[in-house]
Amino acid sequence: MPSAVATVIGVVMFAASSLYCQTPPEIKYTVALKFNGTFNGAQPVGELLLDSQGFVYGTTVYGGADYGECTPGPGCGVLYKWGHGRFTTLHDFTGQNPSIYFPDSGLIRDAEGNFYGETNGDFGTVYKLDTLGNINVLHSFTEQEFWPSGGLIQDAAGNLYGVTNGRCNPGVGCGEVFRINPAGSETVLYTFPTGGNEGSNPQSALVQDAQGNLYGTTSFGGTHANVNDTSGSGVLFKLAPSGKLTVLHYFNGTTDGATPTNLVRDPQGNLYGYASAGGCTLADGCAKAGPSLVACNETGGCGLVFKYDTTGKFSVVYTFTGGPDGASPVGVPLLIGNSIYGATQSGGYDAKSICSGGCGVVFKLDLNGTETVLHAFTSSGGDGSLPSSGLVVDANGNFWGATARGGALSAPNQSCGQNINIGCGTLYTFTLTNP
């Protein structure tokens, strides 16, 4: 099992329909850090990483000490460490030499303590930050490969695996699956063809089994089962070590979702994942109130959780309605006991929310299919909005997550948006006293 996913496996099953509980467990929620758009960064991105001492590690797309250097900036991004009330910058991305800027994924860490991540400045890089603070480009992507996305995983031999988004130009392809060895040599394992049914534009992290098979999703492409979606709604795929790709499921853009994202694999080999759109539309009888329905209806629904079991059966586990239960799940599901914990990018609107369609929620989903909202983001009073990661939990039972917006709203700046109500993002934490 790759180290990047070994501690964040999420499982959801047994639910055939959406059940929403309005009585949450007792939660103690705190905004631990408000990103300011300058030295501590702006717009955190990707999954968070924890260590055994209770420190949290992550990246931001913008901000940093080199304020105003990058466009659209200001700032080229930050790799940070937070814990015990203290913020530490481990690296300011500069966009100079080496040309590594605009991080677009979270971090993984090897047994020696080195960090690995991705950037999307120019056509993107995979980089390594060693234990002495030195940063090196392991690979710079070409215009044809075009932007790594979703994050990396690492096998026992130290090889890194990931995907690029691709441009879908004729003869070029629509993204790829790649491997980078410890010396920095890249091997393209598979290129998604232009105009084929194999899917296109992968943008989420891979998972790997003991036999070396890689599993992932593409955001678009497939059989175009939804006649209203000419670009296709995405696929779930398996890539064997031989380089043979098998499509396990074609998403239809409606009932079984669209734009699939992150996957996880349980010890039995079942796959679980999110679709950020599709599932439930107004015509299907979703909640009849709330502005989020407009956006959900345009994308064929508000997203869902799915399962692909070891027999090859695909099933929808839970469908988000775009109301108080949230819309568009984000990040990697986290399994604890008989429940998973996660976040949605929108939905969860209430009277205090200033977000159109809701600022997102943190949720608990029991394995029987009952969802409970633990927190609805408001983007007011210092709260965050637009979650940008899933959840991780430390040894003391503290949950951690990040939002791309909200938090410090005192002054507008380019990296956080000209609207002072947008904010630069937050790092939040919470505990449950009766989970």
Confidence of residue 292 (pLDDT cuts 50, 70, 90): very low
Residues 29-61 have pLDDT tens digits of 999 999 988 889 899 999 999 999 999 999 999
The larger pLDDT score, comparing residue 202 to residue 146, is at 202
Confidence of residue 72 (pLDDT cuts 50, 70, 90): low
What pLDDT does residue 283 have? 53
Mean pLDDT of 102-108: 93
SS3 19: strand
Distance CA 431, CA 435 (A): 9
What pLDDT does residue 356 have? 74
Residues 408-431 have pLDDT tens digits of 765 555 567 555 568 899 999 999
Between the alpha carbon of residue 108 and those of residues 7, 12, 55, 370, the distances in Å are 11, 24, 14, 32
Is residue 281 over pLDDT 70? no
The Cβ-side half-sphere exposure at 405, using a 13 Å CA radius, reads: 21
Confidence of residue 8 (pLDDT cuts 50, 70, 90): very low
Is residue 213 over pLDDT 90? yes
pTM over 0.85: yes
Confidence of residue 67 (pLDDT cuts 50, 70, 90): low
Between the alpha carbon of residue 22 and those of residues 13, 288, 325, 372, the distances in Å are 21, 17, 9, 6
Tell me the pLDDT of the chain averaged across its residues: 83
What pLDDT does residue 226 have? 46
Mean pLDDT of 272-293: 64
Is residue 380 over pLDDT 70? yes
- Dihedral angle over CA of 333, 207, 18, 319, nearest 10: 110
Confidence of residue 433 (pLDDT cuts 50, 70, 90): confident
What pLDDT does residue 267 have? 86
| Domains in the chain, CATH or no CATH each | 19-432 (2.130.10.10)
| Cα 60-389-254 angle, rounded to 5 deg | 130
Mean pLDDT of 4-8: 33
Mean pLDDT of 294-311: 79
| Cα 305-307-310 angle, rounded to 5 deg | 170
| Cα 351-384-382 angle, rounded to 5 deg | 80
**Is 410 in contact with 15 (CB distance < 8 Å)?**
no
What pLDDT does residue 64 have? 85
Is residue 118 over pLDDT 70? yes
Beta pairing class for 304-308 and 370-376: unpaired
The larger pLDDT score, comparing residue 13 to residue 385, is at 385
Is residue 135 over pLDDT 80? yes
What does residue 412 show for φ and ψ, rounded to 5 degrees? Answer: -75, 145
Question: Taking the alpha carbons of 324, 328, 334, 335 in that order, is the dihedral positive or negative?
Answer: positive
With a pLDDT cut of 70, the percent of the chain lying above it is 81
For the purposes of burial, counting CB atoms within 10 Å of the CB of 17, is it exposed (0-12), middle (13-18) or buried (19 or more)?
A: exposed
What pLDDT does residue 367 have? 75
SS3 295: helix
Is residue 176 over pLDDT 80? yes
Q: Which of 8-22, 79-93, 391-405 has the lowest mean pLDDT?
A: 8-22
Mean pLDDT of 189-217: 92
Mean pLDDT of 359-375: 89
What pLDDT does residue 288 have? 44
Cβ partners under 8 Å of residue 99, min gap 6: 121, 122, 125, 137, 140
Cβ partners under 8 Å of residue 187, min gap 6: 178, 179, 180, 181
Question: Which candidate, 60, 127, 114, places its Cα nearest to that of 87?
Answer: 60
The larger pLDDT score, comparing residue 239 to residue 225, is at 239
Distance CA 189, CA 145 (A): 12
What pLDDT does residue 18 have? 56
Mean pLDDT of 269-281: 85
What pLDDT does residue 87 have? 96
The larger pLDDT score, comparing residue 16 to residue 167, is at 167
What pLDDT does residue 195 have? 75
